[in-house]
Structure 1
Amino acid sequence: MSDILGAVALQQAQFQQQLGIALLKQDFAQQEQILQIVDDAGAAAQSGSQSLNSSGTGQIVNILA
């Protein structure tokens, strides 16, 4: 019986580790997307070609719309 409980505990620990890794990868992907949005917004403001929703020169708003 203890062998079964040990195997179940090991399986649970492995699952939790894999879930933690998956969530960390997802978080990194989201951070990369945010950095890309910020970079795009900065490039648009510097070039004057405000392709995003904008309000005045150099003011970019609603970049997630």
Structure 2
Amino acid sequence: MGVNLPWAQRIFRTTRHNLSKFPDGPFDGVVCLWTLMDIPDAEATLASVARVLRPEGWFVMC
């Protein structure tokens, strides 16, 4: 698209089931769009999100 976003070097689209394949803390941010209300075990999913975020990472839920 011609947009240069040096801070966004890698973007992954995944499901909550695939978070286990990532090591602890590789992501600067996680965005969750219109999904948390439909996840049977939201607490476990949020724990997985927290695990893959770096210590100063951000989480956006819409």
TM over 0.5: no
TM-score (norm 2): 0.21
Of structures 1 and 2, the one scoring higher in RCO (CA 8 A, sep 6+) is 2
Q: Of Structure 1 and Structure 2, which has the larger fraction of its residues in helix? A: 1
Q: Which has the larger radius of gyration?
A: 1
Q: Of Structure 1 and Structure 2, which has the larger fraction of its residues in strand? A: 2
